[in-house]
Structure formats: structure tokens, C-alpha cells
Chains A and B, each alone.
Chain A
Amino acid sequence: MKLQAPENELLTKSAAQLAALIKAGEVSSREVVAAHLQRIADVEPQVHAFLSVDAERALAAADRVDAKRMNSEPLGSLAGVPLAMKDNYAYQGLPCTCGSRMLEGWYPPYDATVTKRLLENDIIILGKTNLDEFAMGSATENSAFGVTCNPHDLERIPGGSGGGSAASLAAFEAPLAVGSDTGGSIRQPASVTGTIGIKPTYGGISRFGIVALASSLDAPGPCARTVMDAALLHQTMAGYDRLDSVSINAPIPAAQAAASNPDLRGLKLGVVKEFTGEWFQSGVMGQFDQALTHLVAQGAEIVEVSCPHFEVAMGANFLIMAAEISSNMAKFDAVRYGLRSGDDGQHSAQQVTSLSRGAGFGAEVKRRILLGTHALSTGHYEALYGSALKVRTLVIQDFDAAFSKVDVLVSPTSPVTAWKIGERSADPLTTHHADLCTVPSNLAGNCAGSFPIGVSADDGLPVGFQVIAPAMGDALLYRVGAGLENAFGVTGEVL
């Protein structure tokens, strides 16, 4: 069953439209924020996209934007527009649970760099959204606080790990959201909810204050319903940050200009030959082929390219991710923050740490820490982690060869549409296939985005089109995205 469409027309407007109306004084930020809070109250029992809602501060922030407008103070491109934040970003005053019992009720003592930039630009944070525990998963089914439902069919998953952020957009609970992508956690939820999600170039948006999953793969990024909204949010989030050691000190990609100029003439699109076959649903391939036809009609050229190592990228990404997870999760030692269990005077500090981690982490987190510990242990390091790092080199070489022939690579974002809640949770391996097309970009650190291209003919569910561009070529994603939006319309028309 689909979620009912909203009646209040403020809810179906794009973020750019809302910002323009607020700036012109035709509607107040308070009215916009109140409308979204009402929508959240109305549909959350069915969707469960949010883990916390911050109505009071959101309305107070909206009033400040309205006061600025009254005083003719300058307003940013998205001033007064509400946003949903994935619950692994630090934002003082709201809990940061990462979907885990381990951090239930933990309030971060500082703001993430992205949080600061959103607030400085007068974007209104509505609340924090659901995710797979510590962003480990492809369905939000691994959240300790219950699954999020896909607004296109409430019995189906919204993708993961950022299923809450994607579902909040598709449900019209927010026009903007932020996520983080380590293997597809922004792009795959965008794909299955008919929304847009961008994994920027690694180092293009600061990771500071976002709870780390796998540090050499993590990329925070924007989520939206229109290409222009994603571009405006991208530019607000991006830029050098001295608090992130991998932050790139270079000009921010001109996403907005690209989004408003979908001129595809002469642009070479590389279709990755390896991204077809048994894992791909026929309705997904049908929409993908139709999208290619539209892009060719707008002047793009199609070139088939081969990236032979993408097939083993899944295994390499999973091992590297698990290894980095086992190291990153060591900070949850029950001393400085999070759950403490067994602190009864009978147990030693080490036993308290083990008991707390045993009680606080869910099965998927434990599984990945154990796998990572194994992959890094003496006798297995070379065969597992060491080999994965070599495959990573080969994947990067495949990209380099491909980008010497074409401007961008294209594929379906996810080989399948949204599956039924519970259908695949019994088999953790099949859900990983959802990330088949997305993981190579995390290994290489380049940028990639998912754009909606209508619904699959076999089940009527949204399909996503992935565009991959070389590092710092983020603007190209928006150019192709705008071309797709020309052909398929904006997401609002799908629900």
C-alpha cells in the first residue's frame, strides 16, 4: 500500500521554490516548517523515518529566518527550508544514536562540520532519521529502533543504511536530507525510494562529527527530490575543513550551474558491461535502457566499457569495510560514552567493556567486527585484507582506463527494486548485492549519484540511474541528473 499523498501544497514544492517564496515574503519559514512538522505527525506512524523530532528548536530557528527577512538581512539559497538529518551526524541538543542501543540517549557535545554549515546557512533541522545500526546494512532492518517503511509501498524496505533520510523525502516529510555513503548508503536508498542521493568525491564534504563507519570509504552527501535542490545542498555542505584530515582544499564543484544547464551534447556515457546479468531485475534494466535512449536524444553518446575487476569489488569492499569497522568500533569501550553493562563491582574494566559491547551491539555489527578482526589477524591478513587492498588498486585502474574513454560511467543504481520487509533479512549475503554497482566508487574515492527514472514495469516500484564521475567531477553528476529530470520529471510526480 502506498502512503497517501500530501494535501498541503507547501509539502510538494522543491527546496529552491520554498526558499524563493520565503525570501519574497509570500510564505513564512514558520509556515513551511509547521507544515512539515504536521506531515511528520500525520505519517510517522506508517513510515517511521525519524528517530527524533525537534519541533521547538525548528520553529524557533524558522522565526529567526523570518525576522532576518523582515530586517532585509541577506538570506542563503536554502534559508528557512527544513531538512532531515541521518542520526549519525552530531547535532548538539538531539541524541545521536546511530540506530544502536550502544548510543541510545547519547547527546553529542559538539556539532559536525556539516551541521554547523547547515545552521550557518539558516537551514532548519527537523530531526534525526533512522538508519541501519552504525550505517551497516541496505534496508534499515538492522536499526535497533525498528524498520523504516518505503512510502511507495509500506510493506517494503526504503533501502539502507540511510533509509530514514530517503523515506522522509519520498513521504514529503522534508524537502532536503543528509546521509553518509560507505558502500551505497546514500545512493541505494535514493534508488528504491525514487529520490536523489549523491556520494560526493571522497574528501569533498567533511566527515568531522559524523560517526565513522569505514574511514577510507565514508562520504557524507546530500539527498533531495530535485536535482537543483541536491546541488544547492551539496554546495552548502562542501568545502575544505581543517578538522577532517582527508578534506580536499580545492574549489567547491559548480553543482548549481551544472544542474541548471543539462546540455548533454557530446557527453560520452560509458555503460559498464559487467553491470548486467542474473542479479539484475528485468524491469530495472528496462527503465535503464529507456533512460539511455532519452539521454542519447539529448545529445549524449553511449560507449560500452569494460571494468573487469568490478565483479570482485564487492568482496574487497566488504573486507576493507569490516577491517576498518573492527578498528573504528573499538572506541565503544563503555568508558567515555554509550552503554555500560555489568558495572556492579564484581567485574573488571575489561569484562565491563566486553559485556557492554555484547549487550549494546546488534548482530550485524558484531558479525562485521568479528569478520574484520579475523581479516586483520596474523595468518589471514595477507590473504584477506591485503588481497582486498590489491583488488582496490585494480578497481581504480579500471576506472582510470574507463575515464580515458568516456566522461562518466552509468549503470542502474541497484540491481533490484525495494524488496519486502523481512524477505531477505534472514540471508545477510543477498542484501549485500544491493550494493553491487555502488561499491566501486567508494573503493576509488570518486563521485557518484542516483537519480530517479520512473518505475519498473514488473512491479511498479521506483528505479534509480547511477552516474559516476572522476574525483572532483561532481558537477558532471548534476549535468546528467538534470538531463534525466528533463526526461522523467521530478520525484514528486511518482508518489
Chain B
Amino acid sequence: MALSVAEVSQLGELAKIALTPAEIEQFAVELNAVLERVVEVSNVNPDIPATYHPLATSNVFRPDEVEISTASKLVLAAAPAVEEDRFRVSRILGEEA
């Protein structure tokens, strides 16, 4: 069950967090220590039903009516980069290059 350094590196890619080699080494040790402690949950009887949520919730719908929403200028004011009243992002083409 123990995580290898390569697996932690892969988790970093999946979670989109750039990790340094030192961080990967450190997290491998720490995550394995955590896993050792929490793995006892897997001894649970597999026939027990899962509880995803403490309340018996159901989807709630409201009438599809236009309402005043947060002004876009307020939202854009908090953005890291804006161009022509839109969020500016870096290139998405050539990701694999």
C-alpha cells in the first residue's frame, strides 16, 4: 500500500501542483505515515452502506428567473490578469509541446 516517490510525483501532476524533488521525497515519507494510521478504516465490513452526506438531501430547484448577480467588474477586479473585460489566461494550445 506504501506510496513510492514516483507515485507521489504522479499525484502532484494529477492535482496540478508543481512539486520540487525535495518536496516529493518529504511528502512520500509523510503521506505513508498518514496512510499507516488511516488504513484501519479499510477493515470495515464491506456490506455496510456508505454515507456521503449527513443530511437526507435532494436537489432543490427554483423558478428559472433572471436575477441580479454579482457585477462582473467586481469579479474581474479580484482576478490576477484581465484583458478586454475578461479573465486573461496563458496559451492552451501546444500544451504537449
Q: Which residue of A lies closest to B14 (CB)?
A: A373
Which one, B16, B42, B89, B94, contacts A387 given CB within 8 A? B42
Which one, B11, B34, B90, contacts A349 given CB within 8 A? B90
For residue B73, give the distance in angstroms from its CB to the closest CB of chain A.
9
Bound Cα distance A209, B23 (Å): 32
Across-interface contacts of B77 in A (CB, < 8 A): 107, 109
Q: Is the interface of B mostly helix, strand, loop or mixed?
A: loop
A348-B92 contact given A315-B37, A315-B38, CB 8 Å threshold: yes
B75 at the interface (CB under 8 A from A): yes
Across-interface contacts of B40 in A (CB, < 8 A): 312, 315
Across-interface contacts of B80 in A (CB, < 8 A): 334-335, 337-340, 343
Please state if B50 and A389 are interface contacts (CB–CB under 8 Å). Answer: yes
Bound Cα distance A384, B36 (Å): 11
Bound Cα distance A106, B95 (Å): 29
For residue B79, give the distance in angstroms from its CB to the closest CB of chain A.
6
Stretch among A46-54, A251-259, A273-281, A361-369 lining the B interface: A361-369
Stretch among A152-160, A299-307, A351-359 lining the B interface: A351-359
Q: Which residue of B lies closest to A216 (CB)?
A: B53
Which one, B18, B45, B46, B57, contacts A355 given CB within 8 A? B18
Across-interface contacts of B21 in A (CB, < 8 A): none
Please state if B42 and A428 are interface contacts (CB–CB under 8 Å). Answer: no
For residue B96, give the distance in angstroms from its CB to the closest CB of chain A.
9
A445 at the interface (CB under 8 A from B): yes
Across-interface contacts of B13 in A (CB, < 8 A): 354
Q: Mark B14-51, 1 if CB is under 8 A from A, else 0.
A: 11111110010011001101110111111111101111
Q: Which of B11, B37, B71 has the most CB of A within 10 A?
A: B11
For residue A399, give the distance in angstroms from its CB to the closest CB of chain B.
10
Bound Cα distance A475, B71 (Å): 39
B74 at the interface (CB under 8 A from A): yes
Q: Which residue of B lies closest to A445 (CB)?
A: B54
Which one, B19, B23, B41, contacts A315 given CB within 8 A? B41
Across-interface contacts of B78 in A (CB, < 8 A): 106-109, 336-337
Which one, B23, B37, B54, B90, contacts A347 given CB within 8 A? B90
Across-interface contacts of A357 in B (CB, < 8 A): 15-18
Q: Which residue of A lies closest to B26 (CB)?
A: A363
A366-B23 contact given A319-B41, A361-B17, CB 8 Å threshold: yes
Please state if B31 and A202 are interface contacts (CB–CB under 8 Å). Answer: no
Q: Which residue of B lies closest to A248 (CB)?
A: B55
For residue B91, give the distance in angstroms from its CB to the closest CB of chain A.
6
Bound Cα distance A107, B94 (Å): 33
Please state if A391 and B54 are interface contacts (CB–CB under 8 Å). Answer: no
A396 at the interface (CB under 8 A from B): yes
A43 at the interface (CB under 8 A from B): no
Q: How many residues belonging to A are interface residues under a CB distance threshold of 8 Å? A: 70
Across-interface contacts of B8 in A (CB, < 8 A): 370
Across-interface contacts of A326 in B (CB, < 8 A): 15
Please state if B15 and A370 are interface contacts (CB–CB under 8 Å). Answer: yes
Bound Cα distance A216, B70 (Å): 26
Across-interface contacts of A394 in B (CB, < 8 A): 44, 48
Please state if A429 and B34 are interface contacts (CB–CB under 8 Å). Answer: yes
Which one, A330, A371, A388, contacts B31 given CB within 8 A? A371
A445-B55 contact given A337-B79, A370-B8, CB 8 Å threshold: yes
Across-interface contacts of B43 in A (CB, < 8 A): 387
Please state if A318 and B90 are interface contacts (CB–CB under 8 Å). Answer: no
Q: Which of A246, A318, A351, A366 has the most CB of B within 10 A?
A: A366
A367-B75 contact given A312-B41, A387-B41, A391-B41, CB 8 Å threshold: no
Across-interface contacts of B92 in A (CB, < 8 A): 348-350
B60 at the interface (CB under 8 A from A): yes
Please state if B95 and A350 are interface contacts (CB–CB under 8 Å). Answer: yes
Across-interface contacts of A361 in B (CB, < 8 A): 17
Please state if B44 and A387 are interface contacts (CB–CB under 8 Å). Answer: yes
B6 at the interface (CB under 8 A from A): no
Q: Which residue of B lies closest to A370 (CB)?
A: B11
Please state if A348 and B91 are interface contacts (CB–CB under 8 Å). Answer: yes
Q: Which residue of B lies closest to A427 (CB)?
A: B33
Please state if A366 and B19 are interface contacts (CB–CB under 8 Å). Answer: yes
25 A-B residue pairings within 8 Å (CB atoms) = A248-B55, A335-B89, A336-B78, A337-B79, A343-B90, A350-B16, A350-B95, A352-B90, A358-B18, A358-B20, A366-B23, A370-B17, A374-B11, A377-B14, A383-B42, A384-B38, A384-B41, A384-B42, A389-B51, A392-B50, A393-B49, A393-B51, A394-B48, A428-B30, A445-B55
Contact surface of A with B, Cβ cutoff 8 Å: 106-110, 202-203, 216, 242, 245-246, 248, 312, 314-316, 318-319, 326, 330, 333-340, 343, 345, 347-355, 357-359, 361, 363, 366-367, 369-371, 373-374, 377, 383-384, 386-394, 396, 428-429, 443-445, 471
- A335-B79, A347-B90 given; 5 more Cβ-contact pairs under 8 Å: A242-B62, A248-B55, A357-B17, A366-B19, A390-B50
Contact surface of B with A, Cβ cutoff 8 Å: 1, 3, 7-8, 11-20, 23, 26-27, 30-31, 33-35, 37-46, 48-55, 57, 60, 62, 70-71, 74-75, 77-81, 87, 89-92, 94-95
